[in-house]
Each structure stands twice: as C-alpha cells, then as structure tokens.
Amino acid sequence: MAMITIALFTFSTPALALKPIVVQPETERIEVTTLGELYESRGDTLQIEAAAGATGTTGRMSVRAATPGTNPNWIVFALTNPTDKPIERWLTAERYSLVGSGIIWPDLDARRIEAVTPSLGFVPERIKSDRADIFRITLEPGQTITYVAELSSERFARVFLWKPLEYEVKVRDRLLFNGIMLGLTGLLAIFLTAVFAANHKMIFPAASLVCWCVLAYLCVDFGFFHKLFQLRPDDNAVYRAATESAVAASLVIFLHTFLRLGLSHGLIRMLTTVWVVAQLSLVAVSVVDPRLASTFARASFAIIGVVGGLFILVLALRGQDRALSLVPTWLLLLVWVFGAAVTLTGRLSGDVISSGLVAGIVLIVILIGFTVTQFAFRSIEPIYGAAPSELQLRSLAVEGAGSAIWEWNARRDEIKVSREVEAALGLNQGELSVKVDEFSKHLHVADRERFKLMLWSIHERSSGKFRMDFRLRHADNSYRWFELEAASIPNSDRRAIRFVGLMRDVTDSKRAYERLMHDAVHCSLTGLPNRELMLDRLAVAMTRAKSEQTVRPTAVMIDIDKFRSVNQSLGLVVGDSLLLTIARRLQRHLGVNDTLARVGGDQFAILIIAEQDPRELASVAERIRRSLRSPIKIAGQEIVLTGSLGIAVYDGEEEEPHDLLKEAEMAMFRAKRGGADKIEIFRPEMRAERDDRVTIESELRRAIERKELRVLYQPIIYLPTEELAGFEALVRWEHPKNGMMNPSTFVPVAEESDLIVKLGSFVLMKAAQDCALWQKELPREGAPLFVSVNVSSRQLFRQDLIQEIRHILGRNLVAKGSLKLEVTESLVMENPEQATEILELLRGAGAELSLDDFGTGYSSLSYLQKFPFDTIKIDRTLIKGSGTGDAAGAAIVRSMVALSHELGKKVVAEGVEEAEDVGFLRGIGCEFAQGFYYGEPMPEREVMALLKLVKKSERKMQPRGLFRTKTKKRRGTPVDATLATSGAEPLTPKSPTNSKPAQSVPPPVADEMPRPPGGIAVAPPPPAPALTKSALRQRQRPLHPQSPGAGASGHHRAIPTVQNASQGTNGSGATAPNGNGAGSNGAYPQSAIHYNPAALPEPGPILASPLGRSAQQSIPPPQSGPSLVAPNPPPPALTPPPQGVMPPPVQGLGQVAGPLHHVQAPPQPPLHGPPPVSAPRSQPHRGSAGPTPEDLSRLSPGLAASLAKIAGGGTPRTRTATGAAASGSASDLTPPPVPRHKRTS
C-alpha cells in the first residue's frame, strides 16, 4: 500500500491544486480519465497538492509506488459530495478493451489499477472481478477527497466512476448479448461438423473450423474461456492472441479449400500452403510472446481480406459458381476488417462499436455456413472421400450428354418431359407434361400420326424398345428436331405399362446432315447442281425421251476461256465473284424445266429438256456467248470473259447420261482448240477423235524432264539495210512416237496446268543461252543480235519471272536489251492495271517488251499509250496482201506504222512471204520484218551455220589494213568538200573509155515515193546518173542509227536514199543478172529520195568508210535561214546491228551527203549525160572468200539475195534438175524463184 505523508519536502516536485469532480446522486457514470490529471513515468514517488476542502485549506500528499522500481503511471483526481448523504461509487477499469488497444504491439488482457490512495479516509476496497479492476469508494456528505491511482499497464486505461446498480445492469445485459453470440456460433459450428459427417466434402470441415475458432475467440473475449477450462485468468492475453491467430489461419484454410486453389497453378498452390503454415505458426508464437503473435494476426486480417478478394474476383469473372456465391460474404468481411482497424486505432469508441464488431464476425460466420450449405448435395460437385454411387454416375452421364428424361404412362396416357426440353423450346414449366393428345399438338403436322402410331405399336407389344425422330414447335413457331430413345419398364401388369427414355436435341446435327446432302449434289459457291445431280437429271430426261416425243434432251457444255489466269492475277475472292456473276447470267437463258449445273472449276453445263429446232438451239447458244462477253465491273476493274460452247443433242444412240455429256465436252474442246469464244455442235465423226489432253499433259511433263522439247528460231531482218537483226524463239516437241508436234497441240494443255511455267522457263533459258553463243560467233558492239521469246499469261503474272530475267541478265548470259519478251495483246487486256505494273518491272530488269499480234484483238489506243512496250508486232493477217494490191490493208498497215512511230515505238511485221511485201514495208518505214520470205524456223545448228555465212560476207567486205585506195579531192561544190572531208571520192561521170554511158532515169512520181516513218515525202531533186556495175558494187553503206557515225542524239539520221536506175531489182533487192543493171524487161525503176525530216540531228560525226566504221568527220553546221521541213517529234532510235550483211537495194549520193539542210545539193549532170563515178572501194582480203553459190542456194530467197549482194554483187545461181550447180561467174548467178510458203506455226 502506498505510504501517505502530509508534509513539505524540499526536494519534491510541486503540483498544482486539483479541481474536484462533483458527484451527484443521479449520475450513473463518470469517466475519470478525462477529468483527472495523468502523470507518466514520474518515478516511484509522486507528490501532489490535494484539492481544497470545504474550509478552503489545501495540503500536500506524497504517494510511493507499491512495487519499487516499476516507475508506474499515475492518475490523480478529486471527488466531492455536495449532498447531505453519503454516496457510494465503484471505480472501474476494464482489463481489456477493444477500443484503442492498437494493431502494432497491442494492449492485451492485464491488471489496470494496482492501488488507489485517498488523501483522507480509508483506502478503497477492491471488489473481486475477472474482467475489470473495481474499487468501492464512499464519500461522506460535504467531503472532498483527492485520490491517487497507481496504474499497472504501460498505457493509460480508461477509468470510470460507476453507480453500483447501473454497473451490474450493464454487466448483465452484456452477458445476455454474449450468450446469444456464443449460441449462434456454437450451433453453426456443430451443424457444419455434423454435415461433414453426412457429406464428406472438404468445404464443410473448413467452414466448421472457422466457426470453432471464432467461438473460441468469443469465449476468451467474454471471459468464459478460463472458467470453462479452469485456467488462470491472468493468462487471458495468451488465449486472446492464440484465438486471433487461429481465426486468421482458419479463414486462409477455408479460402484455399472452398475456391479449390489447390487445383490451380503450382505457384499459387505453394504460396497458399506457405501462408496457411505461417498463420498456424502464430498460434505457437502466442504462447511465447502474445503481443507479437497478436500483431501479426491482426495485420494478417487485412491481407486475407485483400488477397482473398482478388482471388474471388478473378474466379468469379471466369464463371466459377463457388466464387460467385462467396462474393457477399467477402464484401462483409472487408467491411468488418475496416471497422475493426478504425476501432483498434481509437478513432471509434463506445460499447456499441465493440458489440457491433462481435455481431459482425458472427454474421460472417453464419454467411459462410449458408454458402457452403448450398453445395452440400449438388450432384455436379466432386465427391471427396468416397466413390460415387452408380446412380450418381448415371445422373452425371445424363446431364453431361445434354439429354432429358421422357416418360410415358400407358394407363394414364400421360407424357412427362424434363424441364430442360421445355426450357430449350421456350415453354413454361409443365406445358409438355400432359396427355398424349395435348403433347401431339406441339409436334410437327407431318410427325403427329407417325408418333401416335409408334406409341400404339409398342403398347400392343407391351414391351420393347423404340427410337424415333420428331420435331417440336418452339415458342417462336419454329421447329427443332429431337431424338427419342425409350424402353419399357418390366412390369407384370400389362395395363400398367411405362416407358422411360432420353430425349436429345439433334437440330444442329440434322441441319448439318441436310447441308451435307445438299452440298453432295450442289455447288457450295453458286448453289447450282453439280455433275452428279446433272447426270441424274440427264438420265431422267433420257428415260422420258424414249417414251415422250416432246422430250429431246440437249446438253450444252460451257468452258470459260483463260479463267485460271484471271483467277490467279485477281485473287480467289474476285474469281468467286466472277463465277457467281456468270452463273446468274446463264440462268437468264433457262426454261422452266431446264437445268444449269457447274460441272468443273470453270465449266458449266445446261440441260435443255424441250425439243427445239437447230435454229432455236443456235439462237440460245449465241445469246449465251454474247452474255458471257459482256464486261463485268468488279473491284474497280472491267473484266471481259469469253466462253467456248459445245452442244450435243440426244439422238437415241447414247446409252448412258455420261455419253451425252461426253459428246458435249468433245464439241466444247473442239471449239476451244479452234480459238476462244467459239461454238461447236457435236457431230458423229467426233467420236472417233481421242481426247488426249490428259495423255498429252503426262507425256509433256516427262518430255520436259527428258529434254524432248526443241527450240527453233526464225530470223528477223532489219529492213532499211536487210541486215540480220535477231531471231524469234519457237518451241517444238520432238515426240518419240508422233514426231515433231506443233505448239497448238500441247501449249493449250500446258496453259491449263502448271506445265506452262516450266515450259516457259525452259524456253527462256534456252533462248538466252543460244543468244549468248550467237553474240560470241557474230559480235556486234553497237546492237548485238537479239532473241524474242513469247510469254504466256500464267508466266507473265508470276513474280518469279522478274527474278528470272534479273538472274539471266545478271549472269551476263546475254547483253542488256538483246532479250525481248513478246506479250500478246489479249493477254495484257485481261488485267491492264496489273499488266502495266509487271511490264514496268520487267522493263526495269533489263528486258525489252514487244506487243504481239497487234491489230487482231482489242487494239485499245489508250492502253497502247500506257503500256511500256518498246516494239509493236503487226499480225500476219494484216500484212498478207498489203503489198500486192490490197489498198485497204495497206492503208491500215501504213497507219499503224505511223502511229507506232509517233508513240516512239519500233515496228516488226510478221508473215512476210512475198518480195512485194518487203518493198511495201520498207517504203512505209517499217524497221523489222520476219516471215518465210526470210526463212522458216530453224534449229540452233542451222542458225550457227547462217551466222558463219554472214561472218564470211562481212570479212569479205573488210578493207585490207594499210593498203587503202586514196581518194581524190575536188574543189568547187559543197558536195565535193563534204566528200573530201569524209574520206570518200565524189561520184563523177565516167569517161566512155572506162564504162558504158548510163541510160537516163525518168523522174520519180510523187505518189509512188515511200513515206519514211515519222516523216514526210519530199519532192526529189533531178535524178542522179545511173551507176555502173562496178560503181554499184562500191557504193557507200548507209549509216546505222546506233553506229559510231550516228548523230549525237542517237536517232536515225535522215539521209536521203537514192535508188539508182543502174541497180535493177527483182523485188527483193537483188541485182538483175544483166551486166548493165537493167531489169529483165529493160526498164529501170524510178529513183526516189526519201528521208525523215523530223529526225534531223545536231551536227555530229559521220562515217564515210565503205563499211561505215573507218573514219569519223564532223558535218558542217547548217546554213542560216529557214529549214526545208517542218519540225516533228523525233522518232524512236532504231536498233539494227551496226554491221550488215545485206545492203539496201537503193543507195547513192545522199548517203554521204548528209541532211539536205546541212549542205547544198550538188549540181546535177544533164538528164541523159554519163553517170557519176563512185569512189574506188578498198580491196577485200585475198584470203577471205565469201559464201559459195552452194551455200546461198540453201537459204531462203530474201537471205540468199542479201548475202549475194554484199558478197560481191552476185546472186545465188539456180540448180538444175539433177541438182548440180550451173556454171558461170558470181555475176551470172540468178536467185531462185520465191516459193509460196504455208505457215505452220
């Protein structure tokens, strides 16, 4: 007991006087802590000044701690009784209060007040209590007493002054509340434990563990735990810390078990296991350090609430039903954790708050119990601890299979159906559990009688099994298919027959089956019948035709031309759209009973039932053909397709429908071989023909591997000089059995398969390799020999073609510009936009482009301007007859050549077979020509032989090194000066002693003058005198447009070409056999001067040597004054070889004189005067012999004449009937007659 001393100590700390607390009789409770004075750690002795009494006198008191060295806290307060009766009050301090106990290092159960020391009177009596420190205080009337309370705890406890009766009432009320909470929790814990005994699911022991732990905590909090187990009340702090840790651990265990976290990811399973172990370890720590254990337990409640909430949220979003059912409980737990945290920190106070937290945790436990109870007997829940029964397994199987129970009671004539069927049909519960007649009303009309008949049949048998499909009406009046399988229940009473079975919704499978059946006989894209259904209907029509006279089946087979290339270039989506458009167009031409079918990728068939005469059939076929030709606008493009049609009419000889359809296919293939957009009617003789397309395709595939294909080359001639410019590559198939096969036989087959790509690559590589050999054999630096290769549609629209061209040119197989790709006009018009892009890439890769067959297809001038072609090839059908009197054809060809030159493109004429064609084409300025007149397609070895002949001719024309004939210089005319500067002697009239006088030449007729490309015809000057034969042989060669002597601009110089009267021609440019140069009739052709005034270049160097290579001189600048011609855009640069082997038939003074506006025309001799003499020519090599007459006789007329002229002025001699060559000199050789060749390729 503290010692009280009323004295004055010098060394004591003075204290201020207290203000006494007035105690009224009606006051039930006074909180002393807020009204008294608090002293913290003042030592073991406290000195204070007591409150003044009724007399106003004060005193000092000194209080010593009950246990020395504890340095306790103190509460000092004074009480006064203003009444005239004594007042008894209880001074109380709860040993544990939730409010303000703290989270970190909390204040647990402990004694609060060690002793109470009054300043006057007796020491207050301690009342025994396990839950609080209670002291009885008695105040006499009018008495004022100061009390000093020594505290036992580190924190200041809340001290109240209670009225004894009110305090007992409060305790009794709290005992009632505590009893209710304990009862609810205990009952729930017992219930969940009992449920686990009946249903061995782990969620029940986990939930009951939470209930038991909460029950233990409430027992400790209510002060029942130590009384129940006869424990010391002083150890309640250990019990409280242990139960708090146990509650936290039980929540983690429940969350792990209920949400099945053990079945989740291994990391989550490991973390939850560690968490549970850590929470359980806190129970053991509470025995050693209760405050430490309680700190971690209280903090873990917040962690459990947040982490558990995240788990529940994630699983709930994934659709787990357990997580969804736990959401309300966990939300309440989060609210409770927040309220407990606010209360523990002292922000909320009061008895209501403490009671609310206790009620909240009990409510949480109750919700947990309700949540787990709903999963007690669910059949879909996994069963732990015991094997499922057979009934449970069957129930799970039925539910898993999506089936429903169907039952029929024959005695009651009732049908019962599970709720799942009614829900699937959108019906209310019980609508299908009715009498049989009512149930039949929900069936489809077509299934009602069948359903009733089935029930009657099994009722008569009294047992058995049955299976049937029927349709039930949905609430939206649609029908769904159901499959029913049922069997009778064994029963001795035949009247009480019952059938039980399963119903399953099979609507999706039924619809899938119907789709499969439809797709089996229909095209999935267009919805049209396929080949099988077409044959079936054709068989029915043929059967009807045998008995009905009005039925006469007719099969029309339609194949879309070049659809594969369009499909590959534009894509599958556009291709499908095209097929749909074609199908709609074809359906417009069908009758009521006719059938349109899609029998292949790009093939359609039409079955016409009614008998029609040939004119009507032809009319229908023509309408179909025209409808296919109509342009189709799709994907921003206009596409034109054509079709090949084959018609076969049933005549009674066909036994099977395959035969009639096969006949239509034969006719269609015949039409396709004849060209696109054709109609062919089947004829009986077509049956003898074999369709070898499949055989050809397989043999062609092997032929490519065995290298049975041969590439032939047809010469291409540069017309102005008749030089050999290049060749066109043509492929042939050397079949081991059928011999040499024409491309028209196997190329269409290759285009319909992937062989066209391999075939095109083979021809392209072979042509490039052979062209490289030609250029080595006959090198030409300015413009080497070129080769032209045809490109198919599939090869053109293939990206590998560009890489292939780059590979060929990159390996330097051929010189750049000597590989020409020929593309047909119809091919580029299939997809003009994409073709333009690909052609630009090919041109950028180094290949030159030629537009083949121009004038036979679309001939679109707008696209001709857009396409990047270098050369235009005029088709042979336009060339034929244009030079022999066909005025209309000649006008068309002349216009096409002029148009091409205006667009900057070169022109190649195909199908040149007559000498008249050569003269006509040369006259209109056409650069190149090819045809049988210049030679048929020849193999590579014959090409090499031809090149050797050309090489011999050129070697004969070369000068002999240093021994050159000196030219004589003349003064006077500008022409003489020009000739002197160029190294050539002016042509002067020969004396009569040297040669015969030249005959006169009539003036040229303006209408007969040829018009050069891009230029205009100009009236000629007076004709030049005729040259003698020797002068003719030494005539000057014309300048090549790309030779070193050409103009600086690279364009062809407009050099007037004089056709001398002394050079008699036979139409091919060959010299006449007579020595004076006259023709066979003694008449001389009229001379003409023609040039290109639009191509007048700037002054530049020009060659004047006999071969146009030896010397370079500059042309004097033009004289001032107006030009003789109007300026036009320059024509394209011509690219013939720089060295020719075939000189032009007309040459003369203008070839060395230059353009007319550069120099003045020389004075002309009299009309009947002697001819001018040309400059002497260098002598050929003595050891270089030219081609022999035997060599020339083996060539075509055009090539033989050209080689003969360049080799020495002679022509190849004719062979006798015995084959021996006729004797005579080279000058006496006569060219063979021009044969009429028939083109085969």
DSSP string, 543-563: HHHHH-TTEEEEEEEEEETTH
- Position 1180, amino acid: P
Which residues contact residue 1179 at a Cβ distance below 8 angstroms, ignoring those fewer than 6 apart? 959, 960, 963, 965
Residue 482's φ and ψ, nearest 5 degrees, are -130, 145
The token duo for 895 is: 């216009």
What b/e readout covers 1099-1120, taking b as 16+ CB neighbours within 10 angstroms? bebbbbbbbbbeeebebeebee
Residue 4's φ and ψ, nearest 5 degrees, are -110, 125
Q: Give the integer Cα–Cα distance in Å for 36 and 34.
A: 6
Q: Give the integer Cα–Cα distance in Å for 159 and 43.
A: 21
- Position 962, amino acid: L
Residue 826's φ and ψ, nearest 5 degrees, are -65, -30
Using CB atoms within 10 A of its CB, is residue 475 exposed (0-12), middle (13-18) or buried (19+)?
exposed
What's the pLDDT score for residue 635? 73
Mean pLDDT by 10 residues, the chain (1241 residues): 39 56 88 87 83 75 84 89 89 86 84 87 87 89 88 84 89 87 90 81 87 91 77 81 91 88 78 86 88 90 91 86 88 92 85 87 91 70 51 74 85 87 88 90 92 86 84 92 88 75 90 86 90 92 87 92 80 89 92 90 90 80 91 83 91 85 90 84 76 77 86 92 91 85 80 80 89 89 88 77 83 81 80 82 88 74 81 87 76 91 92 88 92 90 90 71 42 37 38 37 38 37 39 36 36 35 36 37 34 37 31 36 38 41 36 35 40 40 55 71 60 34 34 40 35
Convert the pLDDT of each residue in 949-1008 to its tens digit: 888 887 776 655 444 444 444 333 333 333 333 343 333 333 333 333 333 333 433 333
8 A C-beta contact, residue 707 and residue 733: no
The token duo for 1228 is: 């006496």
Dihedral of the alpha carbons of 927, 932, 933, 939, in degrees to the nearest 10: 90
Beta carbons within 10 angstroms of residue 1031's beta carbon: 26
Using CB atoms within 10 A of its CB, is residue 546 exposed (0-12), middle (13-18) or buried (19+)?
exposed
Q: Give the integer Cα–Cα distance in Å for 375 and 383.
A: 11
The token duo for 796 is: 């053109």
The token duo for 749 is: 């087959």
Question: DSSP letter at 1132?
Answer: P
Mapping DSSP onto H, E and C, the string for 631-670 reads: CEEECCEEECCCEEEEEEECCCCCCCHHHHHHHHHHHHHH
How far from chain centre, in Å, is Cα 149? 89
Beta carbons within 10 angstroms of residue 496's beta carbon: 12
Q: Give the integer Cα–Cα distance in Å for 455 and 467.
A: 11
Using CB atoms within 10 A of its CB, is residue 579 exposed (0-12), middle (13-18) or buried (19+)?
buried
Give me the sign of the Cα torsion angle 39, 45, 46, 52. Answer: positive
- Position 1026, amino acid: A
- At which residue do the structure tokens 């094997």 appear? 387
8 A C-beta contact, residue 675 and residue 641: no
What's the pLDDT score for residue 495? 67
Give me the sign of the Cα torsion angle 1070, 1072, 1077, 1080. Answer: negative
What's the pLDDT score for residue 280? 87
Residue 951's φ and ψ, nearest 5 degrees, are -65, -40
Closest CA to 957 of 1187, 775, 721: 1187
Q: Coil, strand, or helix at residue 696?
A: helix
Residue 190's H or E segment, with its range, is helix 164-198
8 A C-beta contact, residue 468 and residue 443: no
Give the distance between the most distant pair of CA atoms in the chain.
186
Q: Give the integer Cα–Cα distance in Å for 555 and 609.
A: 9
Residue 713's φ and ψ, nearest 5 degrees, are -130, 130
pTM over 0.75: no
Question: DSSP letter at 348?
Answer: S
| Beta-ladder partners of 1089 | 1058
Convert the pLDDT of each residue in 32-51 to its tens digit: 888 888 888 888 888 888 88
Residue 379's φ and ψ, nearest 5 degrees, are -75, -20
Dihedral of the alpha carbons of 198, 200, 206, 207, in degrees to the nearest 10: -40
The token duo for 512 is: 């899938």
